[in-house]
Amino acid sequence: MGRSNRSIKNAAKSNKAMDNEEPMADDLGDLLNSSKKTIGTAVGRIVSNDDGRHVGFVYEWNTGEIQNAWFDEPEDDVVYQMFADEENAA
């Protein structure tokens, strides 16, 4: 039928705890335009020149910073295969 008194009290406690935290972004635009790294998008893959293994991804953060994310230890002899931009895709 309805919520129990216990679940209503727990929800109220949860909401009160959230009030003390940093405010959430109003929309995706706030996150994308933030000066903090909040959203990373894979923009390419890192492939080993030795044996062709996919060894990581290249990410671009909402701040514009580019960062390699390796599956294991970083390798020296690699090639970066960047994903095609939607604008440049045929």
Could you state, in order of their start, the residue ranges of all structural domains in the chain? Answer: 5-82
Q: Return mean pLDDT, the chain.
A: 77
Q: What is the pLDDT of residues 7-20, one digit of tens each?
A: 455 555 544 445 55
Give the pLDDT score at 36. 87
Q: What is the pLDDT of residues 22-51, one digit of tens each?
A: 555 566 666 666 688 889 999 999 999 999
- Inter-residue contact 35 to 65 (CB < 8 Å): no
- Inter-residue contact 59 to 42 (CB < 8 Å): yes
Give the pLDDT score at 23. 57
Q: Where are the alpha helices (DSSP H) in 1-90?
A: 5-19, 28-32
Cα torsion 38, 56, 89, 86 to 10°: value is -10
